[in-house]
A and B are shown apart, each in its own frame.
Chain A
Amino acid sequence: MKGEIHMDEDMINISDEQLKQLSAEQLADLKVELDDLVEKINDLINDCDEVLNS
């Protein structure tokens, strides 16, 4: 949703038992999404630094 930021918990609320329910296909999906997302957030932080230092 654009226009407002979601309130985040400190940790994502999922137990190890729940993670065991995920199939190989689902884990692969989540891994690729997570890797992309981490890269995207890192880019945003770098951009923030760039503008702050300009």
Chain B
Amino acid sequence: MELEILNEEYNYLNEVLKNTKSDVDYLKEKLMELKQDKIIYQAEYIRAGRSGDPEKIKKAEEDVKKVNDRIKYMKGEADKKLKRTVALQHRIDGKIDEIRRDPEIGGQIDIALTKRYERGIKKANTEKEEEIKNKKKVTDFKDVISNHPSLQNNVKGILTASVLIKNFEKELKSLENPSVNGQDIEYKDPAKATELQTKIQQATEKGNKNYLIIVEFARKNGINIDDIISAVNKIIENGPVLSSKDPNNISVDVMASFAKSEQISNKKIKGYNKQIARYEIGLNEINGWKQNNIEQTEEQTQMVTAEKPKWYQFIKRFKIWNYQRQQSRLNDYEATNQENTDNTNQFTDSLKWGVVRDAMNIQQKEDMKIANKIMKENPEEYNINDLGDRAEDNEEDR
């Protein structure tokens, strides 16, 4: 946003958009969790089916249904948000079109949009490149560990530790009392909080131990350590795939976690491509709008010049042209003879003027003859048969 006084309306709409965006991010995060849950429950449903236990089958079916119901509810929420956002989008688009039609300020909106689209394309391209690089690091590391089962175990150790730490931290947070300004955090259940802090510490140490083994492997095999750390962090950020939801038996599927991370990167890259394409379309629309305006102006000009003059209009134009030409000749003559004026007698002068006037009259008659000849040779072009407006034209001439 440029530096300018922000008005209430802008602040209000900006806040609405910010909140909607934050809600969509939250729903997206929840959807990822539900997706993960659904995979686990579906696997449990298959296991229950194999066991033939009707209770287990019923339970697994209910779990899958619960997840689906929550997703349907989320989809409904997203639908509501879409409707009200699209309604505002149409109103803003309408307002922009209205401004565009204003010849005085119409250009401003296209300049402002062009600036934002160009900036947006640049930003999306940079972020896309970054995502491509990160995805490559994940893929490269996946290739390395697929040939080293022990290394795969170390990665599993790191990912499991990351899940445990996240869960313990979440639990610890839920034990916090509302904070008082400037005071240390107090817990509702201090003993439980201490236990959780110890578990976080243990999980962190376990994760670090596995990290060191991987770093040592990378050093010995000439693999870039930063790239490996970046790849592992990316998988943690995208959320490792769990093979069980049992909190006492957290189990991470390493290869599925790599695949999930690659899939998320692909989606992001696709998103950037779509965003860039949308901005490019926006720029093309602006250029098309400008071009359309230029063409319309040219068309109007051409329409004016291509209009065939009627015969009386031709005569009128000829008369004007001839009068201007005569005036120009007289002026030239005056200018040429100005310096001799004082020394020339009036009689000679009058003779000269008479000679010039006679010569001009002869020339005018000759010109009229040529003009008549042109019109007669091209009767359709000058509409000489159309005498309907003649009286009116003569009236204008007077």
Contact = CB atoms under 8 A, between A and B. Distances in A.
A15 to B, nearest CB: 9
For the complex of A and B, the 6 pairs showing the least CB-CB separation, nearest first, are A28-B112, A48-B75, A24-B108, A34-B89, A24-B109, A41-B82
B89 A24 contact: no
Interface string B69-113: 001101101111111111111011101100100000100110111
Interface string B4-38: 10111110111011011111111111010011001
Contact of A12 (B13, B38, B99): B13
Contacts of A35: 89, 278, 282
A27 B275 CA distance: 19
Q: What is the predominant secondary structure among interface residues of chain A facing chain B? A: helix
B112 A25 contact: yes
A12 B72 CA distance: 24
Interface string A9-46: 11110101011111111111111111111111111110
Interface of B: 1-2, 4, 6-10, 12-14, 16-17, 19-29, 31, 34-35, 38, 68, 71-72, 74-75, 77-89, 91-93, 95-96, 99, 105, 108-109, 111-113, 115-117, 120, 271, 274-275, 278, 282
16 contacts: A2-B29, A5-B27, A6-B22, A6-B23, A16-B91, A20-B95, A22-B7, A25-B2, A27-B92, A27-B109, A31-B89, A35-B282, A49-B75, A52-B72, A54-B35, A54-B38
| Listed residue (A19, A39, A48) with the most chain B CB atoms within 10 angstroms of its CB | A48
Interface of A: 1-6, 8-12, 14, 16, 18-45, 47-49, 51-52, 54
B112 A48 contact: no
A44 B1 contact: no
Contacts of B92: 19, 27, 30-31, 34
B113 A32 contact: yes
Contacts of B27: 5, 44
A5 B93 CA distance: 27
Given A24-B105, A29-B1, A51-B38, A12 B75 contact: no
Given A16-B91, A28-B113, A34-B92, 17 more contacts: A3-B26, A8-B81, A14-B9, A14-B13, A19-B9, A23-B4, A24-B112, A25-B4, A27-B92, A27-B95, A28-B109, A28-B112, A29-B116, A32-B113, A35-B278, A51-B31, A52-B71
A43 B99 contact: no
Contacts of A9: 84
A41 B87 contact: no
A38 B89 contact: yes
B84 A12 contact: yes
Contact of A38 (B28, B31, B82, B96): B82
B116 A28 contact: yes
